[in-house]
């Protein structure tokens, strides 16, 4: 079921039917058809933004439209216009809406968060004609000097905005000038690139030689260690657990690929999306859509069931199972899970909606999980409830 030379023949004629199927059966309620998988392959195999089937602006507009169907989203969008003077982006709006709906924040907290953002401070210091309801920034407040960071990904996409068009790429080891964080999209940072402000994924830039104080240095070192896709811990046999250099590269690559090729929202194609990321980025021994033809692919949980069945299956895939540590990993927010790991959770767990499928994601940051959407909601470490079926990394 994983591939065919006829993949371009039927895609246009059935795109509407596939969307209807995804809405009716979230996260593959039934086994995906060949054409569904071909549709995913066609998307996941694209390498540049100019080749995407859907342009970034259409994806952004569709994502915003879905979010704004929730009546609680409109007041948040109004805060963006009032405080930042711009329309809300889907990533930031979705982030705040999820926290609001889960009871982790209220509207007053969202307003405080936006007012405390670097973007708001810059707007106030450079725009004296803003609304009188906005407190102007203290002109005596010193402006922080830009910091220098080093790219840790093999090829880091440079974008016009969080989730925006890819305009360039930065090789591993390149130095960038960091202009600040993005409060509405905490997984992104602003950089200066070719004389203008651009955006990159924060987890792939390591800040250089911070020496403000011993505590700042220690904090930075801890952050650098936590951002690296390396698992520390002890296995059930008592041996150390760490990916090989090749495995570390593959963990970084799959995150970069997933963040560049997701569909912008959940369309019920979680298995197809993750399988596309793994085979396209070269995860473990996986290289082609047709690899592991004997693995069922009807539901997300099938991945864990197949990998947990035998060591031979994992060896064929070139991956190892790591949720059986001591103590075992029982929560997708467990800090021992490295970025780039594949996580499969059981039906009924927080963030799953189908009665039997479960969910499969790529960990892309702290409490950040990607499948066909860029930021799947799994609650928090304390609020998540459910069962982890398996966590996997390349050997």
Asked whether residue 95 falls in the same domain as residue 155, the answer is: no
Question: How far apart are alpha carbons 137 and 389 in whole angstroms?
Answer: 50
Task: Check residue 34 and give its pLDDT.
Answer: 38
pLDDT at 198 over 50: yes
Mean pLDDT of the region 83-100 = 83
- Structural contact between residues 294 and 300, judged by C-beta atoms closer than 8 angstroms: no
Confidence band for 20, pLDDT divided at 50, 70 and 90: very low
18 inside domain: no
Q: Are residues 199 and 253 in the same domain?
A: no
- Of 104, 121, 138, the last residue of a domain is 121
Report whether 264 contacts 163 (CB < 8 A): yes
Domain count, the chain: 3
121 pLDDT higher than 50: yes
Please give the residue range of the domain that contains residue 310: 245-394
Asked whether residue 98 is assigned to any structural domain, the reply reads yes
How far is Cα of residue 244 from the mean position of the Cα atoms in its chain? Answer: 23
pLDDT value at 78 more than 50: yes
165 and 273: one domain?
Answer: no
Tell me the pLDDT of the chain averaged across its residues.
73
Distance CA(11)–CA(21), nearest Å, equals: 14
Residues 381 and 254 in one domain: yes
pLDDT at 39 over 60: no
Same domain, 114 and 187: no
Q: Residues 282, 319: one domain?
A: yes
Region 15-22: what's the mean pLDDT? 48
**Residue 236 within a domain:** no
What number is the average pLDDT over the span 263-278? 81
Say yes or no: 110 and 201 in one domain: no
Residues 155 and 90 in one domain: no
Here the CATH number for the domain that contains residue 329 is 3.90.1720.10
CATH code of 192's domain? 2.30.30.40
Which pLDDT score is estimated for 163?
A: 73
Strand partners of residue 196: 193
Do 375 and 250 belong together in one domain? yes
- 237 in any annotated domain: no
Report in angstroms the alpha-carbon separations of 381 from 31, 73, 255, 335, 377: 31, 24, 21, 9, 12
Residue 310 CB: number of other CB atoms within 10 A? 10
| Chain segment 204-242, per-residue pLDDT in tens | 888 865 433 333 333 333 333 333 333 333 333 333 356
- Shared domain for 355 and 268, answered yes or no, is yes
Domain assignment present for residue 43? The answer is no
Sign of the CA dihedral running 232, 235, 238, 242: negative
pTM over 0.75: no
316 plus 184 within the same structural domain: no
Is 138 part of any domain? no
Percentage of the chain with pLDDT > 90?
Answer: 21
* 249 plus 390 within the same structural domain: yes
Backbone φ/ψ region at 164: left (φ over 0), alpha (ψ -120 to 50), beta: beta
Burial (Cβ within 10 Å: 0-12, 13-18, ≥19) of residue 309? exposed
pLDDT digits (tens, 9 = 90+) for 245-254: 888 889 999 9
Would you state the structure tokens that stand for residue 72, as one six-digit string? 């609680």
pLDDT band (50, 70, 90) for residue 115: confident
Q: Which two tokens stand for residue 271?
A: 């298995």
């Amino acid at each position: 079921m994983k591939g065919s030379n006829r993949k371009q023949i039927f895609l246009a004629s059935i795109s509407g039917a596939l969307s209807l199927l995804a809405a009716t059966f979230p996260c593959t309620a039934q086994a995906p058809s060949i054409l569904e998988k071909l549709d995913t392959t066609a998307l996941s195999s694209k390498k540049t933004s100019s080749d995407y089937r859907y342009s970034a602006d259409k994806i952004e507009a569709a994502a915003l439209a879905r979010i704004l169907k929730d009546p609680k989203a409109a007041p948040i969008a109004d805060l963006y216009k009032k405080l930042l003077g711009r329309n809300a982006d889907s990533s930031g709006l979705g982030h705040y809406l999820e926290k609001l709906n889960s009871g982790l924040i209220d509207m007053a907290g969202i307003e405080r968060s936006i007012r405390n953002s670097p973007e708001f401070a810059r707007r106030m210091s450079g725009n004296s004609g803003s609304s009188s309801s906005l407190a102007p920034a203290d002109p005596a407040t010193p402006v922080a000097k830009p910091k220098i960071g080093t790219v840790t990904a093999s090829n880091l996409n440079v974008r016009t905005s969080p989730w925006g068009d890819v305009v360039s790429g930065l090789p591993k080891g390149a130095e960038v000038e960091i202009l600040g964080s993005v409060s509405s999209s905490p997984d992104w940072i602003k950089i200066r690139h070719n004389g203008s402000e651009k955006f990159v994924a924060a987890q792939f830039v390591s800040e250089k030689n911070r020496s403000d104080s011993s505590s700042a240095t220690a904090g930075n070192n801890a952050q650098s260690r936590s951002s690296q896709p390396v698992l520390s811990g002890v296995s059930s046999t008592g041996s150390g657990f760490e990916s090989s250099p090749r495995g570390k590269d593959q963990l970084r690559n799959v995150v970069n690929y997933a963040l560049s090729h997701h569909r912008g929202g959940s369309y019920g194609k979680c298995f197809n999306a993750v399988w596309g990321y793994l085979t396209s980025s070269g995860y473990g021994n996986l290289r082609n859509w047709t690899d592991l033809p004997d693995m069922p692919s009807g539901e997300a949980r099938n991945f864990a069931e197949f990998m947990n069945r035998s060591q031979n299956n994992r060896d064929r895939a070139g991956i190892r199972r790591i949720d059986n540590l001591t103590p075992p990993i029982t929560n997708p927010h467990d800090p021992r899970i490295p970025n780039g790991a594949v996580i499969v959770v059981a039906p009924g767990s927080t963030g799953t909606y189908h009665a039997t499928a479960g969910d499969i994601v790529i960990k892309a940051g702290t409490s950040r999980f990607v499948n066909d959407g860029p930021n799947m909601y799994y609650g928090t470490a304390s609020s998540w409830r459910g069962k982890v079926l398996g966590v996997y990394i390349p050997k």
